[in-house]
Structure 1
Amino acid sequence: MRITRLLTAVVSAAILLPASAAVASPASAATVGSYVALGDSYTSGPFIPTQRLDPLGCGRSTANYPSVLAAALHAGRFTDVSCAGADTTNLTRPQGVPFNGTNPPQLGALRIDTDLVTLGIGGNDYGIFGSLTSTCPGLRASDPTGNPCEEHFKGAIGSAIDNIGPRVEAVLAAIHERSPKARVVLVGYPRIAPDRGYCPDVLPFADGDYAWLNGVEEKLNATLSDAADADGATEFVDTFGPSRGHDACARGGAAWINGKDQNVFEAAAYHPFKAGMAGVAGVVLRALR
């Protein structure tokens, strides 16, 4: 999900770690020899402390779900190259990020001896999530109880999602080529909106657009699942279902996803909190075990 213009606020607010923090110390009883994490901001964790410097513009947190997984699995070597704003093209091409930084092609982190790869990608392709979060809140006032955002896009979002599958399949094939012995896990997106009820102070979509937003996420996740099935050697992990009750509207600290407000000490708008990263890590870990 695209948040690159918002990352400039983190320079003075985030606690930073050098690039050396990217690699875990080899564990004496490692259950995973070499783990590589690939993906976009729902993997990297912008604004979640502690933010890394390599490069800062990727919004890569040491508390994101790959980091939690690496610790739980006692990974002997852990490499996280996920980056906010990444789409499928950035797996094979460099990605420019704020503060004059560059994230190299993410597939470059793969090695012949890599034995676990997680990938979270697709939401930025064709500007899908960026279009939703930049457009829908501004349309609520025109029809608060209706579905003005769905009417605005008139099927364009669904058509764009239909084109993501082949892109993801191509990425998966490239992963297998570079790391033929690796277990490859494609991680879906957790839910943003509740399955019932509304919270316009947190998630300022029109009431009727909540169900549509859920439908968009369900279609995207189904497309990712189908891509994993077509690949035949990739496991898809659903986080949408397990995140029910942990959407942006959830109260009492149960939310995995932040709402509309930026918080440079916790999470970017419409992105996972630290609790959300821990929740996703738990879902993936259960699938791995």
Structure 2
Amino acid sequence: MRSRRSLVTVLVSVLVSVLTLTFLHPATAAAKAPQPSQASQPVQTSRGWVHYVALGDSYTSGPLIPFQRLDPLGCLRSTQNYPSVVARGLDRTVLTDVSCAGADTGDMTQRQEVTLGYNRPQFDALRSDTDLVTVGIGGNDYGVFGSIISTCPGLRDSDPTGNPCQKHFTVDGVDTLKAAIAETRKDVEAVLDGVRKRSPEATILLIGYPRIAPPSGTCPDILPFADGDYAWLNDIEETLNAALASAAANNGTATFVDTYPASLGHDACADHAWIQGQHINPIGAANYHPNRRGMEGVAEVILDHLAARGW
């Protein structure tokens, strides 16, 4: 887990250095926030959501996307992340967003230490009358996401046209990250069971991860992986999303919302990318994380999912 925690520490340091120039306290940010996009326009559903709780990691919280909330600052939680956009798109819905950068499934029930404070166990936000829950978790379990971004770029020069990162994580013919993801599925199942126990009447949506790499081609200046590792990165992401889909199916009361297909053509290499590349944008997005366009895209998938089912 060390790699994911250190990444969060770096991001917080960047955030603090530009806070007074760019990011505002939520009360101030609300007055100056840009006009909502089409994705955040209210949708008509047969059910009026009253209490919406968002659980998740940095792909939910939105590191460095303006405007950043201060409760706590170390969670790198944006007022323009997908839970915020979804809440604006649902009529008369009150959002409780407790997502936090660096979170894994264990942080649902345990206090998460972050720079300049801590985030309470995310399950503390759930109530018996909570009627909508989105869960975006799993990428940090067993250090999968952190291991990839901390290791793969450094291996590119050793074999630029090969797949050195895939080889690095393959031991005795076994892809160790895929093996870890198999365990993640079990952990996510436990999370979904915990949500259902605490909020028995809630609609529970397990949100998948959007595409990072293109299906073909490379862009080493933006995504500095060896050429052959692009396909492997896609395979890892697809394996993770498949594990999440299985977790939702095994739970039986949660629904998996797949954002991977909608993100086709919006990978880190694309002109209208949903994902920031290797370089941190201190006033826009953390490296290898969704930008505001990506958050709006994910929110649109969720809103379309709710509307299609008349929820």
Question: TM-score, normalising length from structure 2?
Answer: 0.87
Matched residue type, 1:39: G
Do structure 1's residue 273 and structure 2's residue 254 form an aligned pair?
no
Do structure 1's residue 90 and structure 2's residue 98 form an aligned pair?
no
Which of residues 166, 174, 196 in structure 1 aligns to 2:216?
196
Which of residues 187, 192, 197 in structure 2 aligns to 1:167?
187
Offset at residue 241 of structure 1 (A)? 1.1
Q: Which moved more, 1:8-17 or 1:133-142?
A: 8-17
Report if the CA contact (8 A) 2:56-2:136 is conserved: yes
Which of residues 108, 120, 137 in structure 1 aligns to 2:124?
108
> In 2, Cα distance between the equivalents of 1:164 and 1:196?
28
Offset at residue 31 of structure 1 (A)? 2.6
Report if the CA contact (8 A) 1:19-1:53 is conserved: no
Offset at residue 12 of structure 1 (A)? 2.8
Do the aligned partners of residues 110 and 19 (structure 1) sit closer, same or farther apart at CA in structure 2, a change above 3 Å counting?
farther
> In 1, Cα distance between the equivalents of 2:27 and 2:167?
45
Instruction: Determine helix, strand or coil for the equivalent of 1:158.
Output: helix
Report if the CA contact (8 A) 1:40-1:121 is conserved: yes
Equivalent residue number for residue 37 of structure 2: none
Offset at residue 19 of structure 1 (A)? 8.0
Report if the CA contact (8 A) 2:61-2:99 is conserved: yes
Q: Which moved more, 1:33-42 or 1:8-17?
A: 8-17
Report if the CA contact (8 A) 1:162-1:223 is conserved: yes
Matched residue type, 1:246: H
Instruction: Determine helix, strand or coil for the equivalent of 1:248.
Output: coil
Do structure 1's residue 117 and structure 2's residue 121 form an aligned pair?
no
Which of residues 195, 213, 217 in structure 1 aligns to 2:237?
217
Which runs of 5 or more structure 2 residues have no equivalent in the other structure? 31-41
Report if the CA contact (8 A) 1:34-1:75 is conserved: no
What are the superposed Cα offsets for residues 38-82 of structure 1, whole Å, 9 maximum, x if unpaired? 000000000000000000000000000000000000243210000
> In 2, Cα distance between the equivalents of 1:288 and 1:119?
15
Offset at residue 264 of structure 1 (A)? 1.1
Do structure 1's residue 16 and structure 2's residue 5 form an aligned pair?
no
Question: TM-score, normalising length from structure 1?
Answer: 0.94
Q: Number of residue pairs matched?
A: 281
Instruction: Determine helix, strand or coil for the equivalent of 1:9.
Output: helix
- Identical counterparts, % of pairs: 59
Equivalent residue number for residue 55 of structure 1: 72
Equivalent residue number for residue 196 of structure 2: 176
Report if the CA contact (8 A) 2:29-2:67 is conserved: no
> In 2, Cα distance between the equivalents of 1:82 and 1:113?
19
Offset at residue 21 of structure 1 (A)? 8.2
Instruction: Determine helix, strand or coil for the equivalent of 2:204.
Output: strand
> In 2, Cα distance between the equivalents of 1:20 and 1:34?
24
Do structure 1's residue 231 and structure 2's residue 251 form an aligned pair?
yes
Do structure 1's residue 256 and structure 2's residue 274 form an aligned pair?
yes
Do the aligned partners of residues 41 and 75 (structure 1) sit closer, same or farther apart at CA in structure 2, a change above 3 Å counting?
farther
Q: Which moved more, 1:67-76 or 1:193-202?
A: 67-76
Matched residue type, 1:185: L
Equivalent residue number for residue 138 of structure 1: 154
> In 1, Cα distance between the equivalents of 2:28 and 2:237?
35
> In 1, Cα distance between the equivalents of 2:93 and 2:149?
38
Report if the CA contact (8 A) 2:266-2:274 is conserved: yes
Do structure 1's residue 4 and structure 2's residue 8 form an aligned pair?
yes
Instruction: List, as ranges, runs of 4+ consecutive aligned residues in structure 1 with deviation greater than 4 Å.
Output: 18-22
Give the CA RMSD over aligned residues: 1.7
Offset at residue 263 of structure 1 (A)? 1.0
> In 1, Cα distance between the equivalents of 2:68 and 2:261?
28
